[in-house]
Chains A and B, each alone.
Chain A
């Protein structure tokens, strides 16, 4: 079964850091484009970052310089390292297989709350 399972969310203070993980099964992360998409409480969807199969990475302006997307091929897992977190980063974070620029498989999401 093709599946994505996120983890790593939680409560963090402004300025803090968090690393999200997304474990894939049923397909190979490194052979696909993979993205992170977030959704603030009661709001719409916002694309955050993508990593291409070749390793190139791109970010939304709102997170550029603060977030880093990466993957571990041996673990078939996608990551999002989030630094210098702000209140406006509070959201459910979804990982999604990107084919190559729309999203066909989504994880269940992990909640990140940035608050003091």
Chain B
């Protein structure tokens, strides 16, 4: 099973600033990586797939990069609605696995 490790566990950033979230895989997943956003009491929402392709309707301030074992989600200018928990997920191997999440909070 591929273990996904996200860092940091919690990130405090001011609105308008840039946020950088990291995700590391225990072995190469090529570019088979997705990012999700989850707000309290809501289902996750797909943000990024293929490591860098934004899902339908996702604002351009969200960008993904990386391949192999190291990945990054960048939010260029944080809006109030962006404060949430973010998960990465690999889909290179079964079972599909998620990281433990990064909580993005208002500084």
Q: Chain A residues with Cβ under 8 A from B61's Cβ? A: none
- The smallest beta-carbon distance between A78 and chain B, in angstroms, is 15
Beyond A44-B100, A45-B87, whether A104 also contacts B46 by CB under 8 A is: yes
- The smallest beta-carbon distance between B95 and chain A, in angstroms, is 5
Interface size on B, residues (CB 8 A): 21
Beyond A44-B100, A45-B87, A109-B43, whether A102 also contacts B49 by CB under 8 A is: yes
Q: Chain B residues with Cβ under 8 A from A46's Cβ? A: 98
Contact B43 A47 (CB under 8 A): no
Contact A101 B46 (CB under 8 A): no
Beyond A44-B87, A44-B101, A58-B94, whether A107 also contacts B32 by CB under 8 A is: no
Contact B44 A103 (CB under 8 A): yes
Q: Identify whether the interface residues of B are mostly helix, strand, loop, or mixed.
A: loop
Beyond A61-B95, A102-B89, A104-B55, whether A45 also contacts B34 by CB under 8 A is: no
How would residues 94 to 116 of chain A score, 1 for a CB under 8 Å from any chain B CB and 0 otherwise? Answer: 10000001111011110000000
Q: Chain B residues with Cβ under 8 A from A58's Cβ? A: 94
Q: Does B96 contact A (CB under 8 A)?
A: yes
Beyond A101-B91, A103-B44, A109-B43, whether A45 also contacts B98 by CB under 8 A is: yes
Which range contains the number of A residues in contact with the other chain?
10 to 19
- The smallest beta-carbon distance between B45 and chain A, in angstroms, is 7
How would residues 38 to 61 of chain B score, 1 for a CB under 8 Å from any chain A CB and 0 otherwise? Answer: 000011111001000001000000
Contact B43 A94 (CB under 8 A): yes
Q: Does A87 contact B (CB under 8 A)?
A: no
Q: Does B69 contact A (CB under 8 A)?
A: no
Between-chain CB contacts (< 8 Å), 22 pairs: A44-B87, A44-B99, A45-B89, A45-B101, A47-B95, A58-B94, A61-B95, A94-B44, A101-B96, A102-B46, A102-B49, A102-B89, A102-B96, A103-B36, A103-B46, A103-B89, A104-B46, A104-B49, A106-B45, A107-B43, A108-B42, A109-B43
Which residues of A pack against B, CB within 8 Å? 35, 44-47, 58, 60-61, 94, 101-104, 106-109
